[in-house]
Amino acid sequence: MKMISWNCRGLGTPRAVGALRKLITMERPDLVFLMETRKKAFEIQKTKMPSGLVHSIGVDCNGEGKSRGGGLACYWSSSLDVNIISLSSNHIQMEVTTTIIDSKMVVTGIYGHPEAPQKWRTWELIKKLTPDPEVPWLCLGDFNEVLKSSEKTGGNPINFVGAQAFQEAMDFCGLRDMGFSGFQFTWSNMRPTPNTIQERLDRALVNECWTEHWPHTHVSHLDRFNSDHNPIYVIFSKAKRQKKKKIRLYRFEEMWLQEEDCRHVIHHSWPRGGRNITSKLGNVGANLTEWAEATFGNIQKRIKSQLGIIKRIQAAEQTEENLKKGKEAEKELENLLKL
């Protein structure tokens, strides 16, 4: 099973929604928790997502127009039976049952208070939400706090009192950090050196019962795009995953219809595909794929390559030049996502 948590910093523009949809299409999660949507709950219901994420719930953002802030959302697939336990401006707590293996868990999406004087409210909220210790519990999101000095670079030293309060809340709830792979920070102020500040604010925490039920849980930081936060990606199973050989499937792309040559390829390929429908479709698909790669190049490979460039830039020193290159790379990625 796969889940994504992302402080998306707004879903008010086609670019932002497109970035989210592409992330979902590429990673194919079963559940997505979003923070700072800057959307009302009814708007979340109207914003449809791909890859089978047909169910959703939203928490209203604050304010109106350009003054909007906050807002939460969760999307999930029909492979999950989700019962909303509670929600607020800072959390969505769900009882989740997987219909495939009939396994129940509690999943809590947290958006921590960003204001220093209010952070204690986050720890009290998590304590209040603690389920029965016999139930597997995953608590993930943007906690707006670090646990140790190595989780921050630049700016003022970390607030050790705040970090200690976070750790004490985890201990009280029986939660532990699952660690991660990928870039070590999940948030950046996007400023050039020497004013760069980066922190690990987003993470996934689990209780002991979760570890017993889902011993093979892996957390990774995905590439940052269209937000100052990296999405976090949680994948878990009872058995260790075996790598499967990918089978390349034919897929018709809607963007092909924008090209007149597409119709010509179909028109000339159909009668040359034999007598039955299956062979005709196979011939059309093969010729369309060859034509598309010659016309557009392999879009998925180009997107993957561009994401790699962005990842390397984000991991490098945030100089003026690298920030400029990063914006150029994001612009190129945005153009690819439109294809």
Same domain, 11 and 44: yes
Same domain, 183 and 324: no
* Over residues 92-101, mean pLDDT: 88
Residue 252 has pLDDT above 60, yes or no: yes
Last residue of a domain, one of 191, 207, 237: 237
Please give the structure tokens belonging to residue 211: 């570890």
Last residue of a domain, one of 237, 262, 280: 237
| Mean confidence (pLDDT) of the chain | 88
* Over residues 297-309, mean pLDDT: 75
Work out the end-to-end distance of the chain between its first and last CA atoms, rounded to an integer number of angstroms.
29
Residue 101 has pLDDT above 80, yes or no: no
Same domain, 305 and 165: no
Same domain, 103 and 206: yes
Same domain, 136 and 199: yes
Q: What is the pTM of this model?
A: 0.80
Reported confidence tier of residue 264, pLDDT bands at 50, 70, 90 = confident
Same domain, 228 and 275: no
Taking only the tens place, the pLDDT of each residue in 173-199 is 999 999 999 999 999 999 998 999 999
Same domain, 124 and 160: yes
- At 133 the pLDDT is 94
In a domain, 101, yes or no: yes
* Over residues 317-324, mean pLDDT: 84
Same domain, 107 and 226: yes
- At 22 the pLDDT is 85
- At 18 the pLDDT is 85
In a domain, 104, yes or no: yes
In a domain, 74, yes or no: yes
In a domain, 243, yes or no: no
Last residue of a domain, one of 237, 265, 281: 237
Reported confidence tier of residue 111, pLDDT bands at 50, 70, 90 = very high
Same domain, 125 and 216: yes
Taking only the tens place, the pLDDT of each residue in 51-80 is 899 999 999 999 998 899 999 999 999 999
Reported confidence tier of residue 303, pLDDT bands at 50, 70, 90 = confident
CA dihedral 292, 298, 302, 305 (to 10 degrees): 180
Domain that holds residue 326: 299-338
- Look at the chain and report how many structural domains it folds into: 3
> Residues 6 or more apart from 51 whose CB is under 8 A from it?
24, 25, 28, 29, 77
Please give the structure tokens belonging to residue 246: 């990918």
Distance between CA atoms of 308 and 296, rounded to whole angstroms?
A: 20
In a domain, 244, yes or no: no
Same domain, 161 and 64: yes
Same domain, 115 and 223: yes
Residue 139 has pLDDT above 80, yes or no: yes
Same domain, 319 and 283: no
In a domain, 249, yes or no: no
Q: By the 8 A CB rule, do 53 and 76 touch? A: yes
Q: By the 8 A CB rule, do 95 and 104 touch? A: yes
Q: Which residue(s) pair with 153 in the sheet?
A: 198
> Residues 6 or more apart from 185 whose CB is under 8 A from it?
151, 152, 153, 198, 199, 200, 230
Residue 248 has pLDDT above 70, yes or no: no
In a domain, 259, yes or no: yes
